[in-house]
Amino acid sequence: MNLEGLEMVAVLVVLALFVKVLEQFGLFEPVSLEDSVEDEFELSTVCHRPEGLEQLQEQTKFTRKELQVLYRGFKNECPSGIVNEENFKQIYSQFFPQGDSSTYATFLFNAFDTNHDGSVSFEDFVAGLSVILRGTTDDRLNWAFNLYDLNKDGCITKEEMLDIMKSIYDMMGKYTHPALREEAPREHVESFFQKMDRNKDGVVTIEEFIESCQKDENIMRSMQLFDNVI
């Protein structure tokens, strides 16, 4: 048979259709160039269960009832038992609708995630809350210092503080009175360092921090705010 020109094309077309039909019927799997992404459907159904109530009671300063209430709320929102950063940001952003709280939420997340595994379990959550709400003033100041110390190296640099400050000011949003100026965070950082940095070495250590805070009446008084949040 002498195939020429269009006839060749016709035959090729027929062959291609044939292959396709076989593929459809699953009789003929061509070599796939890339692995089909079916892993999407295997959801990571990680379900984390916290330790028992008694252990948590020992570890934290909450009463049994308080722990129960806290856990019920936690479980309601996060049925899988852990919060990852995205969820955390989303939850926190609901409280500050005007501004952008995502950066601060990240810092907060890192502060709660004490073992740095990328997720906050109920134990982490409750441990952090216990420090803030039931701890001594020193504990609370410690926690705050830990929050500011982004790289956890024991001292707060101006850049770290600036990041924190900017994230806090971001939460305010655009519509403020008086209007936010660009330099406001920086000025705030300057005044902070002026107050806290005793030896003027450009960083604030934990001792300087606690010392300076203890000397400040306002701060000490405001610490009492958190005594009956729960």
Partner 1 sequence: MAAGVATWLPFARAAAVGWLPLAQQPLPPAPGVKASRGDEVLVVNVSGRRFETWKNTLDRYPDTLLGSSEKEFFYDADSGEYFFDRDPDMFRHVLNFYRTGRLHCPRQECIQAFDEELAFYGLVPELVGDCCLEEYRDRKKENAERLAEDEEAEQAGDGPSLPAGSSLRQQLWRAFENPHTSTAALVFYYVTGFFIAVSVIANVVETIPCRGPARRSPREEPCGERFPLAFFCMDTACVLIFTGEYLLRLFAAPSRCRFLRSVMSLIDVVAILPYYIGLLVPKNEDVSGAFVTLRVFRVFRIFKFSRHSQGLRILGYTLKSCASELGFLLFSLTMAIIIFATVMFYAEKGTNKTNFTSIPAAFWYTIVTMTTLGYGDMVPSTIAGKIFGSICSLSGVLVIALPVPVIVSNFSRIYHQNQRADKRRAQQKVRLARIRLAKSGTTNAFLQYKQNGGLEVDRGLDSSGEEQALCVRSRSAFERQHHHLLRCLEKTTCHEFTDELTFSEALGAVSLGGRTSRSTSVSSQPVGPGSLLSSCCPRRAKRRAIRLANSTASVSRGSMQELDTLAGLQRSPAPQSRSSLNAKPHDSLDLNCDSRDFVAAIISIPTPPANTPDESQPSSPGGGGSGASSTLKNSSLGTPCLLPETVKISSL
Q: Which positions touch partner 1 (CB under 8 A)? A: 6-7, 9-11, 13-14, 65, 68-69, 72-74, 76-77, 91-92, 94-95, 107-108, 111, 125, 128-129, 132-133, 140-141, 143-144, 147-148, 164-165, 168, 188, 191-192, 196, 209, 213, 218-219, 221-223, 225-226, 228-230
Q: How far is the CB of 85 from partner 1 (least distance, A)?
A: 15
In this complex, which beta carbon is closest to partner 1, that of residue 7 or of residue 86? 7
- Rounded Cα distance, 223 and 31, in Å: 66
Q: How far is the CB of 51 from partner 1 (least distance, A)?
A: 20
Q: How far is the CB of 114 from partner 1 (least distance, A)?
A: 15
In this complex, which beta carbon is closest to partner 1, that of residue 42 or of residue 127? 127
In this complex, which beta carbon is closest to partner 1, that of residue 129 or of residue 203? 129
The token pair at 103 is: 């950066």
The token pair at 11 is: 């035959």
- Cβ-based neighbours of 152, under 8 Å, separated by 6 or more: 146
In this complex, which beta carbon is closest to partner 1, that of residue 23 or of residue 187? 187
How many CB atoms sit inside 10 A of residue 214's CB? 13
- Rounded Cα distance, 19 and 28, in Å: 8
**Conformation bin of residue 77: beta by default, left when phi > 0, alpha when psi is -120 to 50:** alpha
How many CB atoms sit inside 10 A of residue 122's CB? 21
Q: How far is the CB of 10 from partner 1 (least distance, A)?
A: 4
